[in-house]
Amino acid sequence: TQLADLLPALVNANVAVKEAGEDIVFLRRLEPGGADRSYGIQVGRLAGLPPAVVARAREILTELEGAHSQ
């Protein structure tokens, strides 16, 4: 988002998603601005990563979010 302020030809956009609990559906529509959150763990699950890898990623994310909120 900050880079778009510096470079006039740059536009920041995100792909619209619909959330339903733990599931997400990409709506194939670009929206202006940055994403309000990361969907990396959900995308990993959709891509077929092993459940143990997805679970560990959730643990790490929880730790990082806890450290960031302090």
For residue 66, what pLDDT is reported?
A: 86
DSSP 37: S
**Can you tell me the distance from the alpha carbon of 19 to that of 17, in angstroms, rounded to the nearest whole number?**
6
For residue 59, what pLDDT is reported?
A: 96
Instruction: Give the global pTM.
Output: 0.71
What residue spans define the domains of the chain? 1-37, 38-70
For residue 2, what pLDDT is reported?
A: 85
Residue 45: other Cβ atoms inside 10 A: 20
Taking the chain (70 residues) in consecutive chunks of 10 residues, what is each chunk's mean pLDDT?
88 94 92 91 95 97 85
For residue 65, what pLDDT is reported?
A: 87
